[in-house]
Structure 1
Amino acid sequence: MNLSRAIYLNSMENSDEDLEIRHRKPRVYETRPNFLKDMDDDEFITKFRVSKATCSMLLQKIGWKMEHLTSRNYALSPEDKLLLALRFYACGNFLVAVGDFCNVSTSSACRAVKEVSFHIAAMSREYIKFGDPDDVVEGLQKLSNFPNVMGAIGCTHIRIKSPGQRQDEAFRNRKGHFTLKVQAVSSAQLIIQDLVARWPGSTPNSTIFENSRLKQRWESGEFQNSVLLGNGYKSSKYMMTPVAKPTTEAEKHYNQSQIATVNIVSKCFEAWKQRFPVLSYGMHIHVDTAKVVIVACAVLHNIAIQEKDPLPPKIEDSSPESFEDDEEIDDIVDASDGFHRNDFINKYFDR
């Protein structure tokens, strides 16, 4: 055996004796804040946009669906998940910022927002529906004396990131932003009575309505003699739109009352987006998840009104750009549809 090989073998034997055992660094879990306990009511509403009482009610309704089977790896509790989602709706920010606020990873925040949004959106049949016809009609008639109205209908834009698909240009609205166009029907109390949140931003109002279940319900006579008020829609026996060029006093009175009443849907959108700024600032998440988040925010909006939660203050640090894309009054009305509107005007506004 040569000298170099002997030295090598000797060094190997000594290294076994001097080898230090390296232990894996223990995982450290940060203590998560207890916002329900630590914050007062006003601060909680500012940060999470609903009251503590409403948050507790939501936990009772959907918390059991979000329980983990084990407590391994310091799993998120239903309360943690709900607060993460509410914070995402509240700040309209990237998920990494939401995770940092609640001391969780970005991936955990993403999963929590998707899970909670799904469970809240699943309650839409319970909370997004038309109220008692007599109460709804009476409430809207008090606004500007327009009779037999079951709701004001309109559309708003919710900004999203580029879908990254061949048809992504369909999501680009007239202002050049990628958006989802959301149709809603509002009551006088700003309750969202019907919602459609799946159409690309370039879709006309009339196309959304023509392909909606809402039209089928009115066509079937479910609402009898009641009407909807809208702008940018095709006039019909149940859809009362403004007269583009009013000439008679009755038409002028009709337009004044119609426009003043239909504006309630714009106020509904304004309050909805003020409560959940993510709807104003836009969402940097997958378009399918964004649709679920929109429905979830509509459900929460109605719950907050029913629970008499105060409207949270506007976020002062920045002002979101308006993505509204209202359509002009359609001056072309079919003869049969024009007859229904003229008959309505003569019946109720010719004084």
Structure 2
Amino acid sequence: MAGVVHCYHRLGRRKYHERMYAERAKPLAQYTTEELYARFRFGRDDIKYIADLVRPKLQHKTKRSHALSVEEQCLIALRFYASGTFYQVVGDNIGPAIAVSSANFCTWQESELYWKSDVYRLNRTGESTVPCGETKQSFFLLGNMPNTIGVIDCTHVHIQAPHEREWQYVNRKGRHSINVQLVAYADLIITNCVVKWPGSIHDALLLREIPLYRKLQSNRPNGIILGDSAYPLLPWLMTPFPVANTPEQAGFNSAHCKTRCAIECLNGVLKRCFACLNYLRVEPKVACNIILACIVLHNIATRRNVPLDDIYDGPEPDEVQPEQPPMFAPNEGQTGCVIRDAIVRHYF
């Protein structure tokens, strides 16, 4: 016992070393509005608005261990969406105290919360939130296609090879991807999306399996939706003529192409604005949450008139699509042909 006391007095009491925290960057204070747009795709007021949407779920109860503020968590996620770079680089943009795990967690948590937000929840029922007449007028001004209420298309978001069911995610170009289906208005507002199917799924099969198809089949809309040749010709879904045999059919195809440019433009804007959608180094479930978050953020940006990169060089040549799976009833195609011929006869 005497030896223990002697050792205690000789070595002295253990001194307390105060933990030192590195100073974090303050992007909202140090960057101009233009610099915020370049780095985060949103301005100062927009970032505060987005932070307020998720504040109830992300706000820490205490400041213990210098917890990240809601704004800092949002900036980490937005920086990742805008750049698509590694989490270490994203964390370093905010400050050296941000670990890779923290940046990863913030991005994952933000992605899940954004697409679950009730304020900007995507319209999964297919019901129009914009007066039908305004929608048709907007599309008519694009390419003189009458009675159009929406455009539909699929785009592939490339991902790293998953650990499970890897073969299902290989698309026709030999790359691993998520097949994302979007329905949009002429002003690039996304009204419906499906983000869960692997890249090997054909566009027509994806359409057949979603609730929107069943809804529009049972309650046909007061208008038509335009799709490319990968989709079937249905009473409410118009595709172009494979071969235009008359000037009127050529006019229909031309108007169809010009009007459907809206969805092609949307795909380009999404992947230029949110560069992470060009390649995601995550598992499919996390990738789907990130894609949905970017879609919701795109709608927020469009509604708040955030300047987006909308440079568009025109439609790309139609790619040769695999033959459509035999899943649609023959009478659906016959009715679609009758309606398409009536449009050609009355308007072209």
Q: Give the shorter-chain TM-score range.
A: 0.7 to 0.9
2-structure distance, mates of 1:125, 1:110 = 25
Q: Is the 8 A contact 1:59 1:79 kept in 2?
A: yes
1:306 corresponds, among 292, 303, 306, to 303
Evaluate the alpha carbon distance shift between residue 205 and residue 101 of structure 1 in structure 2; reply closer, same or farther with a 3 A threshold: same
Paired letter, 1:102: I
Evaluate the alpha carbon distance shift between residue 326 and residue 71 of structure 1 in structure 2; reply closer, same or farther with a 3 A threshold: farther
Which stretch of the first structure deviates more once superposed, 286-295 or 241-250?
A: 241-250
Unaligned runs of 5+ in 2: 312-316
Match in the other structure for 1:292: 289
Per-residue CA deviation, residues 2-27 of structure 1 (Å, 9 max, x unaligned), is: xxxxxxxxx99986664365546542
Instruction: Output the TM-score relative to the length of structure 2.
Output: 0.86
Do residues 102 (structure 1) and 94 (structure 2) align? yes
Q: Is the 8 A contact 2:148 2:223 kept in 1?
A: yes
Match in the other structure for 1:77: 69
2-structure distance, mates of 1:106, 1:84 = 11
Q: Is the 8 A contact 1:172 1:178 kept in 2?
A: yes
Paired letter, 1:84: I
Paired letter, 2:225: L
Paired letter, 2:140: Q
Do residues 117 (structure 1) and 108 (structure 2) align? no
Per-residue CA deviation, residues 282-323 of structure 1 (Å, 9 max, x unaligned), is: 111232111111111101101101101111599xxxxxxxxx
Do residues 348 (structure 1) and 322 (structure 2) align? no
Cα RMSD after superposing both structures = 2.7
Question: 1:345 offset after TM fit, Å?
Answer: 3.4
Q: Is the 8 A contact 2:156 2:177 kept in 1?
A: yes
Match in the other structure for 1:328: 321
Q: Is the 8 A contact 2:84 2:277 kept in 1?
A: yes
1:227 corresponds, among 224, 242, 245, to 224
Evaluate the alpha carbon distance shift between residue 16 and residue 343 of structure 1 in structure 2; reply closer, same or farther with a 3 A threshold: closer
Q: Is the 8 A contact 2:54 2:117 kept in 1?
A: no
Q: Is the 8 A contact 1:251 1:345 kept in 2?
A: no
Match in the other structure for 2:196: 198
Unaligned runs of 5+ in 1: 1-10, 315-323
Per-residue CA deviation, residues 114-155 of structure 1 (Å, 9 max, x unaligned), is: 121111111277353343222222111211111121211111
Which stretch of the first structure deviates more once superposed, 58-67 or 179-188?
A: 58-67
Evaluate the alpha carbon distance shift between residue 222 and residue 81 of structure 1 in structure 2; reply closer, same or farther with a 3 A threshold: farther
Match in the other structure for 2:157: 158
Evaluate the alpha carbon distance shift between residue 157 and residue 71 of structure 1 in structure 2; reply closer, same or farther with a 3 A threshold: same
Evaluate the alpha carbon distance shift between residue 341 and residue 330 of structure 1 in structure 2; reply closer, same or farther with a 3 A threshold: farther
Question: 1:161 offset after TM fit, Å?
Answer: 1.6
SS at match of 1:126: coil
Evaluate the alpha carbon distance shift between residue 236 and residue 330 of structure 1 in structure 2; reply closer, same or farther with a 3 A threshold: farther
Q: Is the 8 A contact 2:225 2:238 kept in 1?
A: yes
Describe how 1:17-28 pairs up with structure 2 within 5 A. Answer: 18-19=10-11, 23=15, 25-28=17-20
Q: Is the 8 A contact 2:25 2:93 kept in 1?
A: no
1:64 corresponds, among 52, 56, 61, to 56
Evaluate the alpha carbon distance shift between residue 349 and residue 330 of structure 1 in structure 2; reply closer, same or farther with a 3 A threshold: farther
Q: Is the 8 A contact 2:82 2:276 kept in 1?
A: yes
- The count of residues paired between Structure 1 and Structure 2 equals 330
Q: Is the 8 A contact 1:124 1:295 kept in 2?
A: no
Per-residue CA deviation, residues 87-111 of structure 1 (Å, 9 max, x unaligned), is: 1101101111111111211111111
1-structure distance, mates of 2:82, 2:286 = 16
Which stretch of the first structure deviates more once superposed, 141-150 or 336-345?
A: 336-345
Q: Is the 8 A contact 1:242 1:329 kept in 2?
A: no
Identity %: 27
SS at match of 2:201: coil
Q: Is the 8 A contact 1:182 1:199 kept in 2?
A: yes
2-structure distance, mates of 1:77, 1:143 = 44
SS at match of 1:233: coil
Question: 1:250 offset after TM fit, Å?
Answer: 2.5
Paired letter, 2:294: C
Match in the other structure for 1:183: 181
Describe how 1:271-282 pairs up with structure 2 within 5 A. Answer: 271-280=269-278, 282=279
SS at match of 2:206: helix
Evaluate the alpha carbon distance shift between residue 329 and residue 247 of structure 1 in structure 2; reply closer, same or farther with a 3 A threshold: farther
1:207 corresponds, among 205, 208, 220, to 205
Per-residue CA deviation, residues 157-216 of structure 1 (Å, 9 max, x unaligned), is: 111122101x11111112222111100012111111111111101110001100111102
Instruction: Output the TM-score relative to the length of structure 1.
Output: 0.86
2-structure distance, mates of 1:41, 1:312 = 16
